[in-house]
Each structure stands twice: as C-alpha cells, then as structure tokens.
Structure 1
Amino acid sequence: MASSFQKLKDLDLTRDEVERLGEALKKEEFRKLLVDYVEEVQNPANKELYEQEIIQLEKERGNDVTFINPKPGYVIKSSVDGSKKCFINVCANDNIKKPSSSPACKEGAKGLQWALPHSLTPPREDVDNKGARCVVYDVVFHPDTLHMALKNKSFGNMVNATACEAVESNFEVMLDKKNLKFPKLQYKGVPHSTIIRKPIEGFVAQQMDPEIDSQELHRRQKQLHHPQICDKAPQPR
C-alpha cells in the first residue's frame, strides 16, 4: 500500500487531476479500458512487434540496434553516496558476450585474467518494502557469467565487484561496498529493456523530412511503454 501511495504521489498531480481520476475510476467502462490497456502493453506479441518496428526504424536512420531484455538473477543491496538505499539487479541476457579468460602472472603467481562483458540500464527511482525511496540499477551479463557466479564463490565475488564498479564509474556515484547485502530477490522492481545501438558502416542516409522522421519514432515509442535506451555497448572488465 505504501509503495502504491508513493508512486501516486510521485506523479505530482494537481488536486483537480486527482479528483478527476477518482471520478473516472468509479466508472466501470473506464476501469475496463484501463485493464485492456495494461493487458495490451504486457502482451509479449505486442512487445515483439514493437521491438521489430524500432529495429526497422533505426536501420532507416543508420543504426543497428539490439534489445537487451534482462533475465532476473540476483540482487545486491547497498547505498548510494551514503544517503540513499540502492539495489543492483545482476541479470542475464544472451546478447551480451560470454566471459573470457587469458593466462596472467602477478607478482610471480600464475593465474587467469577474466573479462566480464556487461551492459547497464540508467538508474531509476523505486521504493523499498517500507515505502522509502531508493534507486535501482541493472547490470546485465551473459547467462554463463551468472551461472559461474552462482556456482563458484570467488567468481561470484568478482562478478559482484564488477557490477559495483560499473555502477560507480558509469553513473559517478559511491557505493558502500563494505556492507553489501543480498536479499532473497531475483529482481527488484519491473524489468526494463535497454537498446545497444551501433552505427551501420557505410550507411548512406536517405533524404527525409527530419520532423516527420522524429514524429514517426515518437509515435512508435508511444504505442507501448518504451524501454530505457543505452547507447553504450557492453564494456569488458
């Protein structure tokens, strides 16, 4: 209940808007339309159609895009800059490159140097189970990385360190890495897709009205809840 109230409060509605919304919710027809809308945007077939349209439109603009839909893994709980609680969703997606290793020697000791490719989503606001505000990040690895992290404690510690360092370096925050906790969650919040966008080599743009082009992109994005867009490709660690 506290979470729902906080999300409603965050909409920053005027008193008139709240009253109008309350009156609308009393009407069965409006409630039915609202339920139909929620079912439509959550329909996997609609989501797939939306993604294909965005991929095609981006190709017309000279970009190859890949949707990264995170598969829940586990959650790291910490705090940001010592003031706000945060959650890091350690997720998986097949489009992220697999982990790799190479022989290494440090101070005379032989071992392996690992590269753990990953992708991130922009931070988003949420609330914890007490209704207090928090911030949520997604760090997405290849499924093999998560599998190894859950099977091997040392490898898991390396994955956790990589996830924390990625959040700190990309979003310029400081995490409390000395007091990491691991709640019994596979994912905090609602999964958000990201897009990895890469320019198409040798692409020659067609002459188009930029205003019409932008309007078309906006129209397609408004059809469903569009994902957060991240232009950065996964960076090896």
Structure 2
Amino acid sequence: MCDSGDLNLTLDEITKLKKAFKDPEFQKLFREYAEEISDPANKKKYEDEIRMMELEQGMDVVFVNPTPGHCLKTRHWPSVPQYLESGITLNAKDESAQESVKVFINVCKSDKVECPEIKPMKNDSSRQGESGVYWSLPHCFTPPREDIDKAKKHAMVYDVAFNPKAFELAKSSIALRRLLDTTAVDSVQKQYNLCLGKTFSQAQQLFSCRKNRESKHSLNGPSPTDSVGEDCLLKAVHLLKGVPYKGVSRPTVIRRRRSDYEERQAEIKKREAEDLKLCSSAEQKQAIKMLSSFRNCGNPEGLSDGASKNEETVKSDKISTPTKPDYSITYSSDFDLSNCRNSNDVNPLRPPDRLKINVKLPGLSSSSCVDLEVTEMHIHLSVSFISLIIFK
C-alpha cells in the first residue's frame, strides 16, 4: 500500500488534485467511476470478456474470488537463515532488535478449489499404529500484497483459499481445524520462503524444524504424513478474533491450456499473416507486430529495426518449431556437521536437499506468459516459441 511519500507528487500536482476534489463536477464523475468499477455486474462482465479473450487463445480461465474465513497474524524474520548458518547465538536484546515484517495470513474460502478428500498412504510411508489414510486439503494462493497495520506500519498479506467443505469439516473436528491452519501457514512459508514466528527464537525453531524435515525427505523420500510439527506452526501464529479477513479481497486467475490450444494459436498466426498482407503502410504493419509480440510476451526476432517481415518470413513463422533454451541444474544442500561424523548412519552420497534450475529466456519481456508445470517426475516450461521438458 502506498502512502503520500511513495507517490512522489510534485507541489503543482498536489495543488491540482486538491483543486479537482473541491470541484463538484469532478466529485460526481469520480463517484460514478468508483461505483462502476465496484459494481458486481460490471465485474462479472469484465470476467466474461476475459474468458472470451482467453478462449480465443486456447486457454481456459477460472477466476478465484476468495471469501472471508479467519485471519492469522505472525511475523517474518528475514535474517534467521543467516544466523543459523553462521552459528551465532543472539541474546534477548539482540533478538528484539532484529528486523521483521508483520504478516497476515487470510485463510479463505472458494468453491473453485477442489474438495478435501481422504487418500490412502503408500506402504512405505505408513507407520505402525496409523490407519493407512491421510487428509488431502487442496488450496491455492492469491498474489501477496502490501498493507498497513493499526500502527500504520508496513505489513504483508497472504491469502490461502480452501474449499468451503474444508471449513465445514473443521467446525466439527478440532484436529481438522488444526490441520487447516497448519496447512495454510506451512504452505505460505514454503511458497514464499518465509521465516515465520511471533519472536526471533520461535522463527529459528520453526525454520530448523522445516530444514530437518527437508533433509529427512531427501534421504527417505516425502511422506504424506510428514509436515513441520503442528505445535510449532500453531505457536508461531495468532488468531485474530473478530477479523475474518485482512485488507481488500483481490481475485486471482487460474489459466489452463485447452485441448485445442495449438489449433487456436495456428488460427491466430494465420489471421496475423493475412492482416500483414492487407496492410499498405509500414506503420500499420509495425502496429500488428507489436500487438503480436505483446500477446506472446516476447518476440524472438525483435522489432527494434522497424522493418516489416516478408512473405517467406511469415511462412517460416507458421511452421517453426519451439526452440530449446539453455539451462543449468545445480544440486544444493544445507551444510550440517552431523553429516560429517564417522558413523554407520551417515550417508555421504545422500541426495541433495533441492535442485535449482536456471533457464535462460532472452526473448521474453515478461514472465506472465510463461506456462510452468512442475510434477514429481518432470518440469515442463513453455512459451509460444520456447519449449523445455526436464525429467527428474
């Protein structure tokens, strides 16, 4: 959220704004504009138009509009990993002096999210005394946003949306209510790489617990029942009573390729080629190219020289196949002295804690058009003119 200092207004601009808001005609127009953009009917019309536009591109669009559930408050301590790696122990005074950011986690509802379900565990992940099943709580995120707290200080807001059925189950079961909150907190800190806790020492404990779990996963593989300890997660947050939602709700969009995606893209390129042939002026041709590059979020051939494509170039674009970009894979692990012991339980050839994949996409001007799919076995990244599949 911006304050007046962030706007960087000049004295002349401030004077003009003050004068404008004193004008009854301007106030009337501004009020009509605010009512128009907040009208649910107009919002639905806007969403329908977006769906139609995306349908022409061969994409299905689902708008997720979260509704209030309850809100959890905590803090993010960015310096926690640094102090844990260095082994430096801070006293209470130094801990309180560490920089932190207040975090609000809205646990929301949306019927666009899949319902919770009970899934059977694999034989190698079930343990003695367990029933062999576990609860799966599908959820989705909306983009993080800045806000301010009661003291007018900077804060971050994260939305995690679950199916309303999950809230109904949570009302009838304390265990499922705990699972709902721990899933939300654990998902947020993993998704955005946060170090959460009410205090610095609490954030350290939670971060260490998470790293130990990740190290265990790298040795034995992940288990559906494995998660950062519920008690640690729930102690790291505080439920805001009487506050179902922090800030103003913002919708998010889930985009999925349709089965006719390639066919639709071919039709669009065909229409563009026909439009280029009918254009008589270089300015019109340049405008068509610019619109095409904006839709694809990148132009591999560039438009800086202002030259129009000839017919052979257009034909080659139609039949061109996706290019494979340069990429690198880095194996990364956290250093732990316990792995340097001369003991039978130490595996010197243990798998890495994580894989870092760096993909070079020089033809892109924005990441909004990148289609990225990550599964247990492969990573699939594609744009209109780039395609890459990396197997695990």
| TM surpasses 0.5 | yes
How far residue 179 of structure 1 moved from its aligned partner, in angstroms, is 3.0
How far residue 121 of structure 1 moved from its aligned partner, in angstroms, is 0.9
- The letter for the 1-side match of 2:46 is Y
How far residue 170 of structure 1 moved from its aligned partner, in angstroms, is 1.4
Higher RCO (CA < 8 A, seq sep 6+): 1
Classify the secondary structure of the residue corresponding to 2:245: coil
- The letter for the 2-side match of 1:89 is N
How far residue 15 of structure 1 moved from its aligned partner, in angstroms, is 2.8
How far residue 215 of structure 1 moved from its aligned partner, in angstroms, is 7.2
Does residue 78 (structure 1) correspond to residue 74 (structure 2)? The answer is yes
Residue in 2 that maps onto 1:212: 291
Say which is worse superposed, 149-158 or 56-65, in terms of deviation. 149-158
Residue in 2 that maps onto 1:181: 238
Deviations 1:97-124 (A, max 9, x none): 0000134442333263011111101110
Classify the secondary structure of the residue corresponding to 2:290: helix
Q: What is the 5 A alignment of 1:3-82? A: 7-81=3-77
- The letter for the 2-side match of 1:11 is L
Question: Quick check: 1:41–1:47 contact (8 Å CA) kept in 2?
Answer: yes
Say which is worse superposed, 76-85 or 139-148, in terms of deviation. 76-85
Question: Quick check: 1:74–1:186 contact (8 Å CA) kept in 2?
Answer: yes
- The letter for the 1-side match of 2:36 is E
2 CA distance for matches of 1:151 and 1:108? 24
How far residue 213 of structure 1 moved from its aligned partner, in angstroms, is 5.8
Classify the secondary structure of the residue corresponding to 2:8: coil
2 CA distance for matches of 1:50 and 1:78? 35
Q: What is the 5 A alignment of 1:74-113? A: 74-81=70-77, 83-104=100-121, 105-110=126-131, 112-113=133-134
Classify the secondary structure of the residue corresponding to 1:182: strand
Deviations 1:47-105 (A, max 9, x none): 00000000111111221110000011110111122600011111111111000013444
Classify the secondary structure of the residue corresponding to 2:239: coil
- RMSD (Å) for aligned C-alpha atoms: 2.7
- Cα distance change of structure 1 residues 56 and 74 upon mapping to structure 2, 3 Å threshold: same
Q: What is the 5 A alignment of 1:141-156? A: 141-156=162-177
Question: Quick check: 1:64–1:198 contact (8 Å CA) kept in 2?
Answer: yes
Residue in 2 that maps onto 1:117: 138
Classify the secondary structure of the residue corresponding to 1:108: coil
Does residue 200 (structure 1) correspond to residue 245 (structure 2)? The answer is no
TM-score by length of 2: 0.52
Q: Among the aligned pairs, what percent are the same residue?
A: 36
Say which is worse superposed, 156-165 or 36-45, in terms of deviation. 156-165
- The letter for the 1-side match of 2:70 is Y
TM-score by length of 1: 0.83
- Cα distance change of structure 1 residues 12 and 107 upon mapping to structure 2, 3 Å threshold: farther
Residue in 2 that maps onto 1:224: none
**Count of aligned residue pairs for this structure pair:** 220
Does residue 168 (structure 1) correspond to residue 186 (structure 2)? The answer is no
Largest Rg, 1 or 2: 2
5+ residue gaps, structure 1, are: 217-227
- The letter for the 1-side match of 2:239 is F
Residue in 1 that maps onto 2:285: none
- Cα distance change of structure 1 residues 125 and 42 upon mapping to structure 2, 3 Å threshold: same
1 CA distance for matches of 2:149 and 2:173? 29
Say which is worse superposed, 43-52 or 151-160, in terms of deviation. 151-160
Question: Quick check: 2:65–2:250 contact (8 Å CA) kept in 1?
Answer: yes
- Cα distance change of structure 1 residues 31 and 213 upon mapping to structure 2, 3 Å threshold: farther
Classify the secondary structure of the residue corresponding to 1:145: helix
